[in-house]
Amino acid sequence: MKPLADFELLSPDAVLTACEKALSPVALEPAVNPYNSYVNRVFAVKSEEGERYIAKFYRPGRWTREAIEEEHAFLADCAHAELPVVAPLSLKNGATIAEHDGFLFSVYPFRSGRTFDINSDDDYKRLGALIGRLHTVSKIHTAQHRLTLHPVDMTLQVCTRLAASPSMHPEFAVEFLDLCTDVLQSRVEAFSSAENIRIHGDCHRGNILDRMDEGLLLIDFDDMMTGPAVQDLWLLLPDHINLCPRETDLLLTGYTQFSDFDSRTLDLVETLRFMRIVYYLGWCESQKNDSLFQEKNPDWGTRAFWIREMEDLRYQADRV
């Protein structure tokens, strides 16, 4: 098996070389500005004419080329429907994905904005309407190479890998797997009746920018997957679903202007919250050897870390 490329080898010179080749004949200034990114590596570059771009280098081994193409196809569908998203540029090779030294990457036009602050009832309706429009487009096509958000087929597999990993403190391995298995298997039937569509997958307020006069901008489709529509709504709520019925109603008021919503799937929200905790832990496990991750998470895998995580999981399990 061909070894995966290492982000440690992704130097500023390598980024510039890759981007100039992909954007040719555009000439770039000799400067690279790295952005904070937990999973991939993201850089800002600028042409000699002053045009700004964002280059996104995908974490090796995380997504196949086919999976990334489906993310880009979703963005293209959204752009065609005039949804406020940033679609990748068509590169010199005629595609939206290029490869350099084992790294798959894409280039986007630069767009700025600030995190959208929810200050009124109308703001919740506005967000709901944006997601409703998104899901109208979601149903146009399917995604065969992305993850499907399911308690057993996706999340329990992550639990099994984590329980057997050296990152799991042995004191908690059995309890962790037993707790996750009980919670997730008990919710299979509830998920089986939910319609699965293409979803953003990580639709929290940090991924919705306010461009003031231009309106809202939905960004970062890297976790795009197939799953129930409610996944793209609950992360916008301020608390557990039973504690914010008013905000839920406001979101759905905006949403249902554009898409139908199965209210039964609100029952999935606290399970989805449990699954998100597990998904995050799996994400950490996949990056444990990354020097940037180690620098920012020095206690990953320690007993103290797992004490906190188990407390969170037990708490959430009681709310499923």
What are the residue boundaries of the structural domains of the chain, listed by start? 7-111, 121-317
pLDDT at 214: 86
pLDDT at 99: 96
List strands edge to edge, sheet with 216-218: 114-115, 208-210, 216-218
Per run of 10 residues, the mean pLDDT along the chain (length 320 residues) is: 68 95 94 88 95 95 95 98 97 95 96 92 97 98 97 95 95 97 97 96 95 90 97 97 97 98 97 97 89 89 97 97
pLDDT at 1: 41
pLDDT at 212: 82
In sequence order, the 6+-apart residues with CB closer than 8 A to the CB of 71 are: 63, 146, 221, 222, 224
199 bridge partner residues:
225
Say how many C-beta atoms besides its own lie within 10 A of residue 2's C-beta.
Answer: 5
Q: Candidates 3.10.20.30, 3.30.930.10, 3.30.200.20, 3.90.226.10; correct CATH number of 7-111?
A: 3.30.200.20
pLDDT at 287: 86
pLDDT at 135: 98
209 bridge partner residues:
115, 217
How far apart (Å, rounded) are the C-alpha atoms in residues 283 and 252? 30
CATH 1.25.40.10 fits 121-317, yes or no: no
